[in-house]
């Protein structure tokens, strides 16, 4: 399982610059003591009306703060507005001498951008299979002792693994199609994650051992190489180009979602979306009335903005985003645009 760690921060200079001034919440606190479970988004939300702009209030485009990810429970975050523009900084204890400080906490205790426990499975597991790609993937053709189902510790035999260059594999089953709400076109299929497998003997068929079975695994299930563990630092920023996307699905097969739901969008890297983009969710509204002749009339009114969504995984024509700060339920077909 990939550990999502907010660690060595990569260049975000251009992304952090905004023409709009930062706006503080009414009566912001002077300081905040970091506690387990805090996120950079959540901490900034105690001070900023637009918490996704935390790279700006941390002055990440300046040399003074290079890595706000490296804060830990117990640190004291102070609001400093003395220079005119607000910024956050880590306060130094009054009686502590200025000297290098080494944190002994494990890396996974560092404060992350957004809740890592929610998105972690979506980073390490296959989510999307392009149309027509299923047939070319490795698949289970036989099971140990001809069992109908196999589980953790069992062996299975797989066709389509040419050599021993890849040892770790994900096992999945083709899931529901992702249909573009605008065109009706099926742009991809979601992959239903079943578990993990390890190659123990290459060949045709190759032998694998199931190392994790979250669901029952059987003949015909497909395999994809497991990605190597990554260290990902998420830097929220607005898209540089106009975004006009729609919600295709709410992960888990539910009809409605809310804050902390994962949604798929009908735009991906081909449309310029990238990891870290923040988009606003809108719902189209129509006012209905009865005119003097008794006829029902409809008048379009401005779309209602009700949430933000943080893009954390991107494919060519599909992107997955975590919904945050939702004031009402999320519905398939709602619009995602620039914040």
- Determine the Cα–Cα distance for residues 41 and 119; give it in Å rounded to an integer: 15
Q: Percent of the chain having pLDDT more than 90?
A: 17
Given a cut of 50, is residue 17 above it in pLDDT? no
Q: Is the pLDDT of residue 30 over 70?
A: yes
Q: Quick one: average pLDDT of 69-88? A: 77
CA distances to 40, 150, 205 from 19, in Å:
22, 57, 59
The domain locations on the chain are 1-85+101-113, 122-225, 244-337
pLDDT of residue 4: 34
Does residue 204 register a pLDDT over 80?
yes
Under DSSP, is residue 58 helix (H, G, I), strand (E, B) or coil? coil
CB 195 within 8 A of CB 169: no
Q: Is the peptide bond before 205 cis (omega within 30 degrees of 0)?
A: yes
Strands (E), 180-230: 186-201, 206-213, 222-225
pLDDT band at 208 (very low <50, low <70, confident <90, very high): very high
Interatomic CA distance for residues 256 and 330, integer angstroms: 5
Superfamily of domain 244-337: FlgT, C-terminal domain (2.40.10.410)
| Per-residue pLDDT band at 120 (split at 50, 70, 90) | low
Token pair belonging to 80: 């400093």
What pLDDT is attached to residue 59?
A: 63
């Amino acid at each position: 399982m990939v550990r999502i760690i907010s660690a060595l921060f990569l260049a975000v200079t251009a992304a952090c610059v905004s023409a709009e001034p930062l706006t503080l919440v009414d009566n912001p606190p002077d300081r905040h003591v970091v506690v387990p479970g805090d996120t950079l988004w959540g901490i900034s939300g105690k001070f900023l009306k637009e918490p996704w702009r935390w790279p700006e209030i941390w002055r990440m485009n300046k040399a003074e703060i290079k890595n706000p990810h490296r804060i830990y429970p117990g640190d004291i975050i102070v609001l400093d507005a003395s220079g005119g523009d607000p910024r956050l900084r880590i306060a130094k204890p009054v009686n502590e001498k200025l000297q290098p400080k080494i944190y002994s906490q494990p890396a996974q205790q560092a404060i992350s951008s957004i809740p890592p426990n929610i998105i972690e499975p979506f980073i390490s597991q296959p989510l999307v299979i392009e149309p027509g790609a299923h047939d070319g993937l490795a698949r289970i053709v036989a099971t140990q002792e001809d069992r109908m189902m196999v589980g953790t510790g069992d062996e299975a035999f797989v066709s389509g693994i040419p050599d021993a260059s890849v040892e770790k594999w994900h096992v999945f089953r083709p899931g529901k199609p992702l249909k573009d709400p605008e065109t009706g076109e099926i742009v991809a299929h979601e992959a239903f994650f079943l578990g993990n497998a390890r190659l123990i003997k290459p060949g045709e068929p190759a032998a694998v051992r199931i190392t994790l079975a979250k669901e029952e695994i059987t003949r015909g299930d497909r395999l994809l190489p497991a990605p190597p563990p990554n260290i990902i630092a998420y830097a929220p920023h607005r898209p540089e180009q106009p975004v006009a996307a729609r919600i295709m699905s709410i992960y888990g097969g539910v009809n409605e979602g809310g804050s902390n739901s994962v949604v798929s969008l009908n735009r991906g890297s081909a449309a310029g979306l990238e990891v870290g983009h923040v988009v606003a969710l809108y719902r189209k509204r129509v006012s209905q009335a009865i005119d003097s002749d008794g006829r029902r009339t409809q008048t379009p009114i401005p779309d209602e903005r009700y949430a933000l969504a943080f893009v954390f995984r991107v494919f060519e024509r599909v992107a997955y985003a975590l919904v945050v700060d939702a004031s009402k339920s999320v519905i398939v077909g709602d619009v995602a645009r620039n914040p």
